[in-house]
Amino acid sequence: MRLYIDSADVKQIARLNEYFPIAGVTTNPSILVKENRPYLEVLREIREIIGEEKELFVQSIGDISEEIVEESKFITSELPGKVIVKIPVTDEGLKAIKLLTLENIPTLATTVYTAFQALMAAMAGANYVAPYVNRIDNLTGNGVNVVAEIAKLYAAYQLPTEIIAASFKNVQQVHDVCLAGAHTVTVGPDLIEKFIAFPATPADVADFKSQWQKTYGSDKTSLVNS
């Protein structure tokens, strides 16, 4: 499983990239406009933080395939490193994915709500699909089941497209999609911070240090000075 940060907040990205095993960053138009500054400036800063080997996802906003293809070529020429273009699963989006696949421009099919949308995107050549787990739940569906169905279809037809599950409200959803067959997940910074948060852990650490210092002295704060 690989973990992506779903954000354009450069401070949060820098912190998470330093401490967590991050594979890259995903953005979308809503995320970028929150930063309230030129989007290319933000994306270039993100690239500087994560380096050129980690993937950076940028979403097109064009309505027709020709616009999407033009945007995709522009964004991949403006940003160094591994750039993946996110394209909504519409008829024009599928056409654009097919055209970009022919030109070896990697794509992620986004706004996925059903397993069959994901299947069509994979057949069109998308490198990734992003099922919206919590949004599916909010529409009285079951996001985790959709991820499981996509994984089953991809395995049955031996499709190389990877599932990058998105849209989460809690850690349990992330946990469940990993078990359901998601290859990777993209998660907001606040939720990533909760992945390793458990009350017993800091309590145990404090207890270990306390016992150590009772034996070796209160000034002994590490193995180096003990």
What are 158-190's pLDDT values in tens digits? 999 999 999 999 999 999 999 999 999 999 999
Closest CA to 108 of 116, 99, 118: 118
Catalytic residue among 54, 73, 82, 86: 86
User: Taking the domains of the chain in order of start, what are their residue ranges?
Assistant: 2-198
The architecture in CATH of the region 2-198 reads Alpha-Beta Barrel (3.20)
- Which residues pair with residue 86 across a beta bridge? 59, 108
pTM of the model: 0.95
What tens digit of pLDDT does each residue of 67-107 get?
Answer: 999 999 999 999 999 999 999 999 999 999 999 999 999 99
Which amino acid, 35?
E
HEC states along 134-169?
Answer: HHHHHCCCCHHHHHHHHHHHHHHCCCCCEEEEECCC
pLDDT tens string 108-151: 999 999 999 999 999 999 999 999 999 999 998 999 999 999 99
**86 assigned to active site:** yes
Sequence-distant (6+) residues with CB within 8 A of 39 are 32, 33
Which H or E element spans position 54? Answer: none
Q: What share of the chain has pLDDT > 70, as a percent?
A: 100
